[in-house]
Structure 1
C-alpha cells in the first residue's frame, strides 16, 4: 500500500503558482513595452489597453492559484497578500491610465513590475516543492 503524501497537492499547486507568476512578470514587462509603443506607434494605445486587460485577468488567476497554494496544510498566506496587492494596484493603475493621470500611472507600473519580480523570487525560493 502506498502511503498518502501530503506534499503532493502542495507540489502541483506550487508548480502552478510558479508558472502563473512567471506569466504575470512577463505580462508586466510586455505592458512596459506597449507603454513605449503608446508613445511611438499608431496602434500603441489600443495594444497597451488590451494588454492591460489581459494583465488584470492574469492577476486574478495569480490570486486564485495563491489561494489554492495556501489552503490548509499548504504554503504561506503571504503569497495571497502579494497577489491581492498586485491585482488591486493593477486595477488602480488601469483607472489612473484611463483617466490620463500619467504622473501616478507610470511610477505605479514600475512598482508593479518590481512587486511581480519580488513575488517571483519568493515563489521560486519556497521550499514547499519537490
Structure 2
C-alpha cells in the first residue's frame, strides 16, 4: 500500500530527500562498522556516523510533520519517522553498551526498513 499524501510537491521532495539521506547514513554505518573492526580509529567514524544518523532522523521527523500539516497529507510518514527515531535511539544506546547480539540484527533491520520505505515513497 503506497503512502497517500496531498502535501505540496516541495514538501514531498524534501521528505524524499531526507529519507534518501537517512538510508545513505544507515548504509554508511554498516561500512564504518566494518572499518571499526579493521582500523584503529574505526570506532570514531562509527560513533560520529551514529550521531549523524540520529540527527538526520530527527530532521526526517520534522520534515514529515511539515509535509503533513500544511498540505493536509497523510500522517503515515510521521509514524514511520517517529518509529525510526525510536529505533535509532535504542540502537545508539545498545551500541554504547556494546550489546552486539542486539546491535547487529537491529542495524540490518533498520537498513532494510529504510530502503523499503524509500522505494515506497518514491511511488
TM-score, length basis structure 2: 0.91
- 2:68 aligns to what? 70
Give the whole-Å Cα distance in 2 for the aligned partners of 1:53 and 1:8. Answer: 32
User: 2:92: which partner in 1?
Assistant: 94
2: CA distance, partners of 1:121 / 1:76: 17
- The aligned length equals 119
- Aligned-partner SS, 1:34: helix
Does 2:76 correspond to 1:81? no
SS in 1 for 2:8: helix
1: distance between equivalents of 2:104 and 2:78? 25
Q: Which runs of 4+ in 1 moved over 6 A?
A: none
Aligned to 1:29: 27
Kept in 2, the 8 Å contact 1:79–1:119? The answer is no
CA deviation after TM superposition for structure 1 residue 73, in Å = 4.0
**CA offsets per residue over residues 50-86 of structure 1, 9 Å max, x none?**
0000000000000000111111543221111111111
- The answer to whether the 8 Å contact 2:7/2:70 transfers is no
Gaps of 5+ in 1: 1-6, 126-130
Structure with greater Cα Rg: 1
Output the aligned Cα RMSD: 1.7
Pairing partner for 1:40 from 35, 38, 41: 38
Segments of structure 2 that go 5 or more residues without pairing to the other structure are none
TM-score (norm 1): 0.86
Which residue in the other structure is 1:106 paired with? 104
